[in-house]
Amino acid sequence: MQSGFVSLRTEAFMAADHANMIRVCKTCRLIHDDGETAYERWVTLEVYKKANGMEPPKSRLTHTYCPDCFVEASPHLKAA
């Protein structure tokens, strides 16, 4: 029973931690901007700095794929 509780607690912590992280595309290096817009937007570092008044903090970065790079990588990911 204890291991189930620890597992749920760990998953909740990781989900909360990832919610505060800034996503960077591992292929093209675009940054996901969660700014004031109501739609998903991937931008360059320069656009991110201009829109948010700062560079993304390095300690809060995580790598993923932007939608365009995900489509390109999908066949390779399925083969792996």
pLDDT per position as a tens digit, 22-58: 899 999 999 998 766 656 789 999 998 888 888 887 7
pTM: 0.64
- The pLDDT value recorded for residue 11 is 53
pLDDT above 80 for 64: yes
pLDDT above 60 for 12: no
What is the pLDDT averaged over residues 66-79?
Answer: 84
What is the distance between the alpha carbons of residues 54 and 2, in angstroms, rounded to a whole number? 43
Beta strand residue intervals within 3-60, DSSP E: 22-25, 31-32, 42-43
Phi, psi of 79 (to 5 degrees): -75, -25
Amino acid at 8: L
What is the distance between the alpha carbons of residues 62 and 24, in angstroms, rounded to a whole number? 6
Pick 74 or 10 by higher pLDDT.
Answer: 74
